[in-house]
Amino acid sequence: MAIERTLSIIKPDATKRNLTGQINEKFEAAGLRIIAQRRLQLTSVQAELFYAVHQDRAFFRDLCDFMISGPVVVQVLEGENAVTRNREIMGATNPANADDGTIRAMYAESIQANSVHGSDSIENAAVEISFFFSQIDIVG
């Protein structure tokens, strides 16, 4: 197994409900280490750039509006198979389909307001980490 890094975002629905600590507890309990973390307010342009891969989807505009509706916490998680492991801890995109005990099953409000983002591949993780963090911000 390889030590990987992945980008995680605690989304506005979760920061609004003061769930940052509870969500971080899930990462740490699963063996993922938070090696960089920052709370910030995304701008519309930043949200559009981050989710550019989804720009042709019907939900794109709503998704960007949701992502700027409150603060987010962006973080780098490190651990064995971190990309896949984090996706497992997060659960399915639609909380109705998320396994019991996953973050989305426990906390998500809807398919859109689903509490967390996690990179879906090692390649995308590298791109997404560098979107938010410089090397000097990441302390492994």
**Residue pointed to by tokens 């989807």:** 57
- Note whether 57 and 93 are within 8 A (CB): no
Q: Does 93 bind ligand IDP (CB under 6 A)?
A: yes
Determine the interface stretch with ligand IDP among 20-28, 30-38, 75-83, 107-115 (rule: CB under 6 A).
Answer: 107-115
How many residues of this chain bind ligand IDP (CB under 6 A)? 9
From the candidates 10, 74, 117, 119, give the one annotated as an active-site residue: 117
| Residues in 38-57 at the binding interface with ligand IDP, rule: CB under 6 A | 54
- As measured in angstroms, the least distance from the Cβ of 41 to ligand IDP is 18
Q: Which two tokens stand for residue 113?
A: 């307001």
| Residues in 113-132 at the binding interface with Mg ion, rule: CB under 5 A | 120
Q: How far apart are CA 12 and CA 53, in angstroms?
A: 20
Residue type, 76: V
CB atoms within 10 A of CB 30: 15
Q: Does 126 bind ligand IDP (CB under 6 A)?
A: no
Q: CA Rg, the chain, in Å?
A: 14
- Note whether 41 and 68 are within 8 A (CB): yes
Whether residue 54 lies in the annotated active site: no
Q: Which does 124 bind (CB under 5 to 8 A by kind): ligand IDP, Mg ion, none?
A: none
Nearer residue to Mg ion within complex by CB, 109 or 120: 120
- Note whether 8 and 116 are within 8 A (CB): yes
Summarize as ranges the residues that interact with ligand IDP (CB under 6 A): 54, 59, 63, 93, 111-112, 114, 117, 120
Please list the active-site residues. Answer: 117
